[in-house]
Amino acid sequence: MTALERAARLFAELSRASADPPGVTRDSFGTGEAAAHAMIHREAEALGLETRTDAIGNLYVTFAGQDRSAPALMTGSHMDSVPHGGNFDGAAGVLAGFVLLERLMNGPALPCDVTLMVIRAEEMIWFPQHYLGSRAAFGLLPPNTPDTLRRADNGRSLADHMIQEGFDPQVIRDALPQLDPNNIRAFVEVHIEQGPVLVEADLPVGIVTGIRGNIRYRFATITGQTTHAGGVPRRVRRDAVLAGAELLNVLERYWSEAETRGEDMVLTFGEFTTDAAQHGITKVPGLVRFTLDVRSESNAVLDAFDKMLQTEVSRISEARNVQIDLGPKTQAPSAPMTAKIRDGLEQAAQTIGARSMRLPSGGGHDCAVFAGLGVPAGMLFVRNENGSHNPDEHMAFEDFAIACDVLHHWALGELFPNG
């Protein structure tokens, strides 16, 4: 069996084991994720690779090099999914890493270890914390995280789930790192693209320039006054929906102008709702709840947007006699990929005759944690139809095979720079 044949078999096994029509479900620190990790552990043991699971639950699969003390070359991704999601988000990066290890086993002795990291809990839909497994591995989470973070579907704490799966939440409370960034030579993550750019360009792979940072307001509200739809003239209305509509229009216009200036930016109002207990066709709506997510490769673009947002919120609030409360803000900085690795992945694609392009990553990925700690980092996207986080996610296996070839050629060039 070739490494690619093994990967095809494991994709199929994953799909069967985590089937949850209409898609798949691999819940963070739950049965679905655990089964996926067990599958990789089983296959690694069968090949004679070294395995280690840290106190958080992250799995490390290593092909040993000649100098065990040298910083390791790493690749990897996550195995959890959103509920009823697709089979390839995260898993493609793990199985590409497994293909890499199996191929390296059949080559010359390596100068250093090469490690596949199978990361826990990347999808924050289960626990509302981004990059949970990778940040925990580096001791970056707030100490109260295991006890205050609760899973969205059952209300149980992260600590409860970790203990149930045999892991130790105390290492998070004590900020005890399981990984040292100084011991990592580089980290490259393979991932399906979560948008349509590669499909539109008819290209199998893409070289990621950077992971967009974001500013998010999850609990924003607009409070006006609920009044009679027929009896109250426009001049005295405190209409929360019209205030929200103006805010949406202003921000979309700013987004369009930012694109005209050549700035990287995307903007989303993921939720925008009136109060179901109060709204009605004959009422002027007095309350709107909404979320706001803005992303960019440039932290300066994010900061400029946020400054503009505050100004517009004040202006609209005063002009329409409403109160716009954005609520608490979360911010994740952008993570540019290392130029040397970007160039190396591009050269590897050219060497094997694979057409590629450069593009930013709109979604967040564990790779951002490594980059933020100064680890040389890169990402390789695989063409994927129908987006991600949905059951219609579709990655052609031929494109996955090309990505595996690019990763392999890049790794050989990194490990043996003199040929």
Structural domain span for residue 105: 3-212+334-415
Do 204 and 250 lie in a common domain? no
Do 152 and 267 lie in a common domain? no
Please give the Cα distance from 176 to 273 (Å, whole number).
42
Do 117 and 198 lie in a common domain? yes
* Banded model confidence at residue 419, pLDDT cuts 50, 70, 90: confident
Do 301 and 365 lie in a common domain? no
Do 388 and 320 lie in a common domain? no
Please give the Cα distance from 122 to 365 (Å, whole number).
8
What radius of gyration do the chain's Cα atoms show?
23
CA 369 vs CA 135, 207, 328, 374: distances in Å: 7, 18, 22, 9
Helix then strand count (H, E) for the chain reads 13, 19
Instruction: Return the structure tokens found at 280.
Output: 């009605």
The number of domains in the chain is 2
Do 76 and 195 lie in a common domain? yes
Instruction: Return the structure tokens found at 256.
Output: 């369009």
* Banded model confidence at residue 332, pLDDT cuts 50, 70, 90: confident
Do 251 and 347 lie in a common domain? no
What percentage of the chain has pLDDT greater than the value 70? 100
How crowded is residue 148: how many other Cβ atoms within 10 Å of its Cβ?
12
**Among 307, 332, 357, which residue terminates a domain?**
332
Do 397 and 293 lie in a common domain? no
pLDDT, tens digit (0-9, with 9 covering 90-100), for 254-294: 999 999 999 999 999 999 999 999 999 999 999 999 999 99
pLDDT, tens digit (0-9, with 9 covering 90-100), for 217-253: 999 999 999 999 999 999 999 999 999 999 999 999 9
- Please classify residue 77 by burial: count the beta carbons closer than 10 Å to its beta carbon, then call 0-12 exposed, 13-18 middle and 19+ buried: buried
Residue 90 phi/psi, 5-degree rounding, is 85, -55
pTM listed for this prediction: 0.89
Q: What is the Cβ-side half-sphere exposure of residue 30, based on CA atoms within 13 angstroms?
A: 20
CATH code of the domain in which 242 resides: 3.30.70.360
Residue 130 has pLDDT above 90, yes or no: no
Is the distance from CB of 151 to CB of 160 less than 8 angstroms?
no
Do 128 and 24 lie in a common domain? yes
Please give the Cα distance from 315 to 317 (Å, whole number).
6
**Among 332, 348, 371, which residue terminates a domain?**
332
Residue 212 has pLDDT above 90, yes or no: yes
Do 55 and 192 lie in a common domain? yes
Residue 312 has pLDDT above 80, yes or no: yes
Do 311 and 370 lie in a common domain? no
